[in-house]
Chain A
């Protein structure tokens, strides 16, 4: 935590495809934190010329996987693997 933000760690995954999904009611991932991560990682992917390879999707839910997330996950794997 002294050396890296969560956004900076995630930015190091660029340019490889990276899908993140979060529930906005999840206290572990508050929306203001998601905003910050999204800003930093979006910039890193843009700099790497891979804008479409990063996606952060938010859902009106808490800390668990929904049917909507599952569909999105499998579609992402179908697209990139």
Chain B
């Protein structure tokens, strides 16, 4: 059963198009560290794929050095490209932001701009899609790859509990969530 599931996971991964090396190292540059009312906000630029920079927010609880249980938050589509990772910090209608809700409970969170969104925008989906096809990539697969590599980044952080990492999302963020969670055996998903 376990071997069969591993084989199916590998099959699924193989359907994502040509991808950068699964084991290529990830790295981060820290742009700013700010104290906000409910949490500490790190603004980062991650190297997840070796092709383009990935802007990200890492939010951690105040008054503790960690290590923290941590949620990788995959942002939603929203029908437009301006929001991206800001969804983590913004209230959801009348509901408080996930950054606040999680930090209050002692949970850290990471959210990065997906291909085309927020600070990664500037080209149309069609342009990126066609360029990727030319190179053997599939936009969907590259989105999932970034998400898997973001998990690698979290596991490597000193103040993240590697046994307490989850993945979460609302709306369209749930689709890469399923695919990448099904490929990351150490990752509980909520």
Let me know if A17 and B101 touch, CB within 8 A: no
Once bound together, how far apart are the Cα atoms of A76 and B168, in whole Å? 11
Residues 1-31 of B, flagged 1 when their CB comes within 8 A of A and 0 if not, give: 1000100110110010000000000000000
Let me know if A12 and B95 touch, CB within 8 A: no
Chain B: residues with Cβ within 8 Å of the partner, total of: 33
Contacts of B188 in A (CB 8 A): 16-18, 80-81
A33-81 at interface with B (beta carbon < 8 Å): 47-48, 63-65, 67, 70, 73-74, 76-78, 80-81
Specify which of B101, B178, B185 is in contact with A9 (CB 8 Å cutoff). B178
- Judge if B99 is at the interface, Cβ distance under 8 Å: no
Let me know if B15 and A70 touch, CB within 8 A: no
Contacts of B182 in A (CB 8 A): 9-13
Specify which of A13, A14, A81 is in contact with B164 (CB 8 Å cutoff). A81
Asked, given contacts A73-B168, A81-B69, whether A10 binds B95 with beta carbons under 8 Å apart, the answer is no
Asked, given contacts A9-B178, A81-B107, whether A64 binds B189 with beta carbons under 8 Å apart, the answer is no
Once bound together, how far apart are the Cα atoms of A78 and B104, in whole Å? 12
- Judge if B94 is at the interface, Cβ distance under 8 Å: yes
Of A6, A11, A12, A76, most B-chain CB atoms within 10 Å = A12
Contacts of B171 in A (CB 8 A): 63-65
Asked, given contacts A19-B190, A67-B94, whether A80 binds B181 with beta carbons under 8 Å apart, the answer is no
Let me know if A12 and B8 touch, CB within 8 A: yes
Chain A residue with minimal CB distance to B170? A65
- Judge if B187 is at the interface, Cβ distance under 8 Å: yes
Instruction: How many A-B residue pairs have C-beta atoms within 8 angstroms? Tell me.
Output: 82
Main secondary structure of the interface of B (DSSP, over half): mixed
Contacts of A65 in B (CB 8 A): 92-93, 95, 170-171
Asked, given contacts A13-B189, A16-B188, A17-B190, whether A77 binds B71 with beta carbons under 8 Å apart, the answer is yes
Let me know if B181 and A18 touch, CB within 8 A: yes
- Judge if B147 is at the interface, Cβ distance under 8 Å: no
Provide a sorted-by-A list of 15 A–B residue pairs whose CB atoms are within 8 angstroms: A9-B12, A9-B178, A11-B182, A12-B12, A12-B183, A18-B189, A63-B171, A67-B94, A74-B105, A77-B107, A77-B168, A77-B190, A80-B188, A81-B107, A81-B164
Using a CB–CB cutoff of 8 Å, the interface residues on chain A facing chain B are 3-4, 6, 8-14, 16-20, 47-48, 63-65, 67, 70, 73-74, 76-78, 80-81
